[in-house]
Amino acid sequence: LWTAVLAVPAVAARRDPLTDAETDQLREAALEPERKLKLLLKFTEQRLDSAEKLRAEPQGGAERGQRIHDLLEDFDTLVDEVGDNVDAYASRNQDLRKPLSDVVKASQDFAARLREFKAAASATPAAAQEYKAYRFVLDDAMDAVDAGLQSAQELLDEQKEQFKNKK
């Protein structure tokens, strides 16, 4: 019973994937969908870049698998944040064609890079062992990117039709 009670706060104490400076930049861009989405995509890409660099380091150390896990978890959280923001702006009937094109392009890139990341996870016995630390979060990130890509592409197609005569 006590372990269940003690486990609840650990789940609630989820780490913020953004730095204070990044949060401030997003706050300043809150009313500008294109700018805010561009910033979110930039921060998302930085987390994936960091995870890829860490995985590629020849001397990663004993905690590398956990550090990769944390970066991929932050990446996954930010992918969800991009989707939430797209949904919020779309619900206000804002023209998102330009930023949605950026979201689609970035999502396609993320999907390809995550597939490569997963393939590299079994390249050596050591990599396969380390992979156990981040396997689930990598799969979640891949699913989130795929779902976000599909959603963004569908919304982009809808908006192209909706706004084509409003230029």
Instruction: Report the pLDDT averaged over residues 119-123.
Output: 89
Using left for φ > 0, alpha for ψ between -120 and 50, and beta otherwise, residue 49 falls in alpha
Q: What is the pLDDT of residues 148-166, one digit of tens each?
A: 999 999 999 999 998 887 6
The pLDDT of residue 167: 57
Percentage of the chain beyond pLDDT 90 is: 71
| Higher local confidence (pLDDT), 16 or 43 | 43
Distance CA 16, CA 63 (A): 20
Q: What is the pLDDT of residues 33-55, one digit of tens each?
A: 999 999 999 999 999 999 999 99
**151 three-class SS:** helix
Percentage of the chain beyond pLDDT 70 is: 90
| Higher local confidence (pLDDT), 126 or 80 | 80
Q: Give just the sign of the alpha carbon dihedral 148, 154, 157, 158.
A: negative
Residue 61 confidence (pLDDT) above 70: yes
The pLDDT of residue 8: 44
**Whether the predicted model's global pTM rises above the 0.85 cut:** yes
The pLDDT of residue 43: 97
Under a CB-based contact definition with an 8 Å cutoff, are residues 47 and 74 in contact?
Answer: yes
Instruction: Report the pLDDT averaged over residues 101-117.
Output: 97
Distance in angstroms between the alpha carbons of the first and the last residue of the chain = 62
Please name the amino acid found at residue 155.
L
Query: Which of the four pLDDT bands, split at 50, 70 and 90, describes residue 15?
Result: confident
Distance CA 103, CA 149 (A): 8
Q: Which of 83, 66, 87 is nearest to 15 (CA)?
A: 66
